[in-house]
Structure 1
Amino acid sequence: MPHRYKVREIAQQSGLSEATVDRVLNDRPGVRENTRAEVAQAIADLDKQRAQLRLNGRRFLIDVVMQTPQRFSDAFRAAVEAELPAFAPAMLRARFHLWESGTTAQMADALGKIRGSHGVVLKAQDAPEVAEAVDRLVGSGVPVVTYTTDVPTSTRCAYVGIDNHGAGVTAAYLVDQWLGSSPSGVLITLSGPVFRGEGEREVGFRSALRGSGREVVEVSDGDGVDATTKRLVLDALRRHPGVEAVYSPGGGNAATIAAFEEIGRVCRVLVAHDLDADNRRLLREGKVSVVLHNDLRADARVAMRQILQQHGALPSEPVRPTPIQVITPYNVPA
């Protein structure tokens, strides 16, 4: 059957005879499985070598556009910058457009101003005007990868990040196990209703606690910013005296803990997301119980790889959800 490499090339790469390779490629009987695996590995190696040749000397400019608390954007920026050299012999540069609070119109406007880009890594609201801005970029030849929260109605090429619904279910399991027979209610803190990823976490969390009898109280629109989050949490705690636990998909955990302390209530369990500087400190101090984390450098690498694939500079690879790590004070990654 036709193949992108000559039989002779595959034979040289695998160390097998041309006749053996030909039998494998044409799926003829009498070939051992380990021989088929050797041929598959040789083809994968040839793909990598071809990709290296395509990358040699090429320059790519990638834009990272995010509305997110600074503690998270700082961590992701460091991850991107650490991964840029890994794409040698290509030369990748990154521009960062980062802010904490804003409207969907601001996000759409920022996307509309991008020029000279080879691709965009985007954390944005799931809103029609954002989807339209993404579609315009893609239509102009700029691929877009959504990160941590998706805009699925757009023509983005991939979503990179955790299974958000699964993360919410995991959080509910941990909270329920921690509280045991206590009837304590749970506060869920969201940065805003327009981020699809947080909404999926909330749905997973609520579905897993359904039937437990626990009160679930939601606060939203804090943007993960401490001052706003503290005010919202204080109001919720005063109105719901049975709340003694927190699931925080949206951040602002230092403010949440400060609100509990201000009214003299113990937070018996707090499940957070992302191992940023604040959460590392709170975990060490015993104020956050566990952090649901994913490897930001691995995410950055996958996101940038997806952009290069769209330009034909790397072979296509499927994107799978990033594994969720449950981080305690005793297994914090360096």
Structure 2
Amino acid sequence: MPRTFRVRDIALQAGVSETTVDRVLNGRPGVRATTVDEVHRAVADLERQRTQLRLTGRTFVVDVVVDAPERFTTAVREALERTLPVLRPAVLRCRFAFSDAASPAEVAGRLREAARRGSHGVVLKAPDSPEVVDAVARLRARGVPVVTLVTDLPGSARVAYAGIDNRAAGATAAHLVGRWGGGGRRSVLLARGRSTFEGEDARCSGFLGTLREEFPGVRVHQVREDERPGAALGDLVRAALRADPALDAVYSAYASGGSAQVPRAFAAEGRRCGFFLVHDLHPEHEQLLRTGGVDVVLHHDLAGDLRRACHALLQARGELPGAPQSWSSSVQVVTPHNPPVPLPLG
């Protein structure tokens, strides 16, 4: 491996000793394969965060622990690495621990690993479970602040939350579902995920409460990703369509894949989807928005959320004035006519 970075920087990024890094760089034996992988990942992270190494100031290593589909973790990495160079006065470097549908015990293990490797702070997206809450408390006791991202752990020792106002997002979805149908909609499908994320619970609560208040005659069918093991979202939608001839709208409250299955499920049943609303403007949803497969995307400024998360971590460590505060980003209602970035139609 070429000596592109200082051994000290690689060791800090990997959370191992300089001696271990030297062994790996020179191909010497006596290092576990998993540790060798950690060193290689650290070098890759430093390559992407190269601009941070040229900055002066105290360096903090932030662990980003996110349980989510790959498209979301990719968006988090890219948004954060674009944000890092503008953060002041400290220099932040990030280590990433990503997973998809990890158990609470596995997430808690990643938090313990972050503490072992000498973390200065953690940005966390994880299920609201006792194991994770306990791991956050242990980090706080060791002086490692945690900021939750996109989905909160309200009963934990986290110092702040940064992300969309999930209850408001669900309420917005209910308002749009009812109004989009001209007030005559009779039945809607609410699609939920398989995990115990507080943010998703808040979205669903906001959706159901607002729908009952504004459109009390609308029936709601709920399907969960885990209700039939191995069943795809399209299968669940088709079953719901067969059970209710009036169902003509869908709100997907979670970020897993498969949104394209929804319009295909309607077509397979010879039905028309009158309204389909999803979260997050990732490439799949951009494509569906272009082609009419999705009517509305509820979006938020992920880069802004990450800036506020890093700001809160620096406040918690006394590097910036004031106490860390939670901040909920606004809900953006995106149609084919007002995308946050240029989105060609057709």
Identify the TM-score tier after normalising by the shorter chain.
Answer: 0.7 to 0.9
Task: Give the corresponding residue for 2:326.
Answer: 319
Amino acid at match of 1:313: E
Of 292, 304, 328, the residue aligned with 1:286 is 292
Amino acid at match of 2:336: P
Bigger-Rg structure (1/2): 1
SS in 1 for 2:319: coil
The alpha-carbon deviation at position 88 of structure 1 amounts to: 4.5
SS in 2 for 1:209: helix
Amino acid at match of 2:186: S
Task: Give the corresponding residue for 1:300.
Answer: 306
Per the alignment, do residues 299 and 227 of structure 1 end up closer, same or farther by CA in structure 2, a change over 3 Å counting? farther
Task: Give the corresponding residue for 2:58.
Answer: 58
Per the alignment, do residues 109 and 259 of structure 1 end up closer, same or farther by CA in structure 2, a change over 3 Å counting? farther
SS in 1 for 2:298: strand
Cα distance in structure 1, aligned partners of 2:260 and 2:328:
28
Amino acid at match of 2:235: R
Per the alignment, do residues 298 and 112 of structure 1 end up closer, same or farther by CA in structure 2, a change over 3 Å counting? same
The alpha-carbon deviation at position 183 of structure 1 amounts to: 3.6
Instruction: Report matched runs for 1:1-334 at 5 Å.
Output: 57-88=57-88, 90-114=90-114, 115-192=117-194, 194-210=196-212, 211-221=215-225, 228-251=232-255, 252=257, 253-316=259-322, 318-334=325-341
The alpha-carbon deviation at position 260 of structure 1 amounts to: 2.3
Determine if contact 2:279/2:297 at 8 Å carries over to the other structure: yes
Question: Which sections of structure 1, spanning at least 5 residues, go unmatched?
Answer: 1-54
Q: CA RMSD in A?
A: 2.1
The alpha-carbon deviation at position 143 of structure 1 amounts to: 0.7
SS in 1 for 2:78: helix
SS in 1 for 2:206: helix
Determine if contact 2:186/2:217 at 8 Å carries over to the other structure: no
The alpha-carbon deviation at position 262 of structure 1 amounts to: 2.8
The alpha-carbon deviation at position 227 of structure 1 amounts to: 7.1
Scaled by the length of structure 2, what TM-score is found?
Answer: 0.75
Determine if contact 2:188/2:250 at 8 Å carries over to the other structure: yes
SS in 2 for 1:60: strand
Amino acid at match of 1:262: A
List structure 1 segments (4+ residues) > 6 angstroms apart after TM superposition.
Answer: none
Determine if contact 1:270/1:290 at 8 Å carries over to the other structure: yes
The alpha-carbon deviation at position 96 of structure 1 amounts to: 1.5
Cα distance in structure 2, aligned partners of 1:81 and 1:275:
19
Cα distance in structure 2, aligned partners of 1:146 and 1:276:
21
Scaled by the length of structure 1, what TM-score is found?
Answer: 0.78
Identity of aligned residues (%): 46
- How many residues get paired? 278
Cα distance in structure 1, aligned partners of 2:113 and 2:275:
43
